[in-house]
Structure 1
Amino acid sequence: MSAMRFSTYLISFVLVAGPALAGQVDRALTSATIDKSAEMPLGPLAPDDARLGRLYTQLKKERNPEAASIIAEEIRQALTRSGSPTVDLLMSNATKSIDAKRYGAALDFLDLVTLIDPEYAEGWNRRATVHYLMGNIPKAMADTAHVLALEPRHIGALAGLAGMLNDGGRDAQSLLAWQQYLEYYPADRDAQKEALDLINKLAGQKT
């Protein structure tokens, strides 16, 4: 799947939500291409970045679902670490608020996270989750696009994107998102099933 096709399908989906959202997504996606080039960052890597790259490489090669799930969890934990005690505290408070279904409070914490460290992808990802839980799909989509601009390999954001596209009846676009997800996490059987179900559904629509 080409990055251009993936970006085009995402933008075509959010156009139905209005030009403001389309502009947000367009700006986010043009700042980072969603394709395999994300696996080869330019310049020297920080130790955490180098470790994250190795984890993604291991995840892509691993075919055992149980072993792959362990690697995926390591990636999730690595992405959660911000390197800032302040941001980590805000994220912890946001998580507690989400668990208590105090979504407004969670948004307040996460808004601060994105202001303090706008390059921290997990802050945007967590905020996308809260918007989704509150039923604000356009904002969830915009934040998800921002996550993928910062970290195109973010499997959580890709899965969330696929789910939102599917919920919106965009089966072809949802399939593309799952295919992108499976590029990084091929051993995920649930994702394999989601993709296969969409392939069969789309094939049935053509007959």
Structure 2
Amino acid sequence: MGTLAHGTAQAETAGLERYFEELADPDYEGWARAESDIRRAWSRSGSPGMDLLLKRGQDALDEGDYDAAIEHLTALTDHAPDFAEGWNARATAYFAAGLYGPSMADIARVLTLEPRHWGALAGLGMILDEMGREDEALDAFRASFALNPHQQDVKDAIARLETTLAGTAI
């Protein structure tokens, strides 16, 4: 199943280059559509069963039931190890549960499968910032922002960290 899921996931993200280019252009007016198209492609595993596990995990996360979210999303990553969004969702659940180590491990897996995942990079920045690793957090936020310059929260984090780090450099 892993090979099938990998081939399907690759097919879902193939042809997205134009959308990534549009999204990365801070002046492109259609950026929201490009972002939506990328997110939609990322959310499709190619298997209705795996898509259902993703939805159940995301629903549990939205309800604040982090244990259930992690359980559903672990089943997803076990059965579809090449589906980047499964790892990203579980990284988010781990982060919400305060489990930074497992979250960072899942983010690393997301970025191996989809290096352009601006959400995973932003999440990594948040974790590193929480851990006091400000230089590394800034790098992660900048990488996320380069892919998607329409993230106000990431822009604000970059400005805050640049100010903080400039103050410590003096």
In 1, the alpha carbon distance for the partners of 2:66 and 2:155 equals 31
In 2, the alpha carbon distance for the partners of 1:123 and 1:47 equals 16
Q: Deviations over 1:54-77 (max 9, x none)?
A: 21111112425x642332232222
The reply on whether 1:163 has 2:126 as its aligned counterpart is yes
In 2, the alpha carbon distance for the partners of 1:118 and 1:152 equals 16
Percent identity (aligned)? 37
Structure 1 position 95, deviation (Å)? 1.8
Structure 2 equivalent of residue 60 of structure 1 = 24
Structure 2 equivalent of residue 89 of structure 1 = 52
Q: Which structure exhibits the higher relative contact order, with contacts defined as CA atoms closer than 8 Å and separated by 6 or more residues?
A: 1
Residues 165 and 173, structure 1, Cα contact 8 Å, conserved in 2: yes
> 127-136 or 99-108, which moves further after superposition?
99-108
Mapping of residues 45-124 of structure 1, within 5 Å: 48-64=12-28, 67-124=30-87
**TM-score w.r.t. length of structure 1:** 0.72
**TM-score w.r.t. length of structure 2:** 0.86
The reply on whether 1:139 has 2:75 as its aligned counterpart is no
Structure 1 equivalent of residue 3 of structure 2 = none
**Is the alpha carbon distance of 1:178 and 1:93 closer, same or farther for their aligned partners in structure 2, counting shifts above 3 Å?**
same
**Is the alpha carbon distance of 1:187 and 1:90 closer, same or farther for their aligned partners in structure 2, counting shifts above 3 Å?**
closer
In 2, the alpha carbon distance for the partners of 1:73 and 1:183 equals 17
Q: Deviations over 1:109-162 (max 9, x none)?
A: 111111111000000011011111111111111111111111111011011001
Unpaired runs of 5+ residues, structure 2, are 1-9
The reply on whether 1:201 has 2:168 as its aligned counterpart is no
Residues 12 and 42, structure 2, Cα contact 8 Å, conserved in 1: no
Mapping of residues 20-35 of structure 1, within 5 Å: none
The one-letter code of the counterpart of 1:133 is: A
Unpaired runs of 5+ residues, structure 1, are 1-45
| DSSP-derived class of the 2:149 partner | coil
Residues 58 and 69, structure 2, Cα contact 8 Å, conserved in 1: yes
**Is the alpha carbon distance of 1:47 and 1:124 closer, same or farther for their aligned partners in structure 2, counting shifts above 3 Å?**
closer
Structure 1 position 47, deviation (Å)? 5.5
In 2, the alpha carbon distance for the partners of 1:120 and 1:128 equals 13
RMSD value over aligned CA atoms? 1.7
Q: Deviations over 1:29-64 (max 9, x none)?
A: xxxxxxxxxxxxxxxxx6533332221111112425
| DSSP-derived class of the 2:14 partner | helix
Residues 97 and 106, structure 1, Cα contact 8 Å, conserved in 2: yes
Total equivalences in the alignment: 161
